[in-house]
């Protein structure tokens, strides 16, 4: 398992932001990305939870309240 190669909190945040961006765009999914890069999923999701408030673009579409459970129809207010 890889260790974060940077020492300062700011550098660690920048490093994990880049990793999370890469993982979210990886066509085979998060699990496959973590396996390929040698990260544990626990480590990935730990940093994801810490950093997601600063990255609104990371919203998971399956958890969005404006998307109905029956399909991709938007619910209007």
- Tens-digit pLDDT profile for residues 9-31: 999 999 999 999 999 999 999 99
pLDDT digits (tens, 9 = 90+) for 28-72: 999 999 999 998 999 999 999 999 989 888 876 554 444 444 455
Say what the pTM is.
0.70
Q: In whole angstroms, how large is the CA radius of gyration of the chain?
A: 15
Domain that holds residue 28: 9-63
Q: Work out the number of other CB atoms within 10 angstroms of the CB of residue 39.
A: 19
Q: Number of folded domains in the chain?
A: 1
3-state helix/strand/coil string of 7-60: CCHHHHHHHHHHHHHHHHHCCCCHHHHHHHHCCCHHHHHHHHHHHHHHCHHHCC
Is 53 contained in some domain?
yes
Is 74 contained in some domain?
no
């Amino acid at each position: 398992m890889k260790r974060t190669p940077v020492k300062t909190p700011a550098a660690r945040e920048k490093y994990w932001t880049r990793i999370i961006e890469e993982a979210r765009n990886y066509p085979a999914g998060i699990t496959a990305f973590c396996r390929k890069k040698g990260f544990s999923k626990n480590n990935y999701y730990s940093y994801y939870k810490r950093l997601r408030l600063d990255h609104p673009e990371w919203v998971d579409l399956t958890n969005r309240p404006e998307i109905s459970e029956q399909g991709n129809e938007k619910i209007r207010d």
